[in-house]
Amino acid sequence: MNFKDHIRVIMDYPQPGIRFKDITTLLSNGPVYKEAIDSIAELVAGKQIDVICGPEARGFVVGAPLSYKLGIGFVPIRKSGKLPYESIEASYDLEYGKDKLAIHADAIKPGQKVLIADDLLATGGTISTCVDLVRKLGGEVVGTAFLIELSYLSGREKLQEIDVASLITY
């Protein structure tokens, strides 16, 4: 299946010159969404994964169904101040500013093998921060998985030692 056929591209959003990749058109089509998750599962097949982490919010729509498909747990990485229990945080740069992410301090056990899943790999800032948080808790990041990769933004360069699986590449 050509998944790009199910991604709406919006010109000049959120600012002039940006070609925003809108995944809501893929997500709203049940059979296509299912096939996309199944295809990502095939991309990471063979990896030993104990748990999947995904950053808020769109990482949840890739990571949670992927964890369900693989029969393993899902750990949300949330925006600062959103988690109810003791957590650790890290700051990072976005394409359009700065932000903070947090994970529960007991969410990852030392030595656990973690796959980080998100909707999009752009500059790599969000995912690098997720990698740092998992490693601070003693987890081993065994790979990353994305619905979309914007290769022209060179996000892979921030993840050089980590396997990157992308379903769609622009």
Q: Name the residues annotated as catalytic.
A: 58, 95
Q: Is 159 left (phi over 0), alpha (psi -120 to 50) or beta?
A: alpha
Name every residue whose Cβ is closer than 8 Å to that of residue 110 and which is 6 or more positions away in sequence. 137, 138, 139
Asked whether the beta carbons of 138 and 109 are under 8 A apart, the reply is yes
Name every residue whose Cβ is closer than 8 Å to that of residue 51 and which is 6 or more positions away in sequence. 67, 72, 73, 74, 75, 108, 112, 113, 114, 115, 139
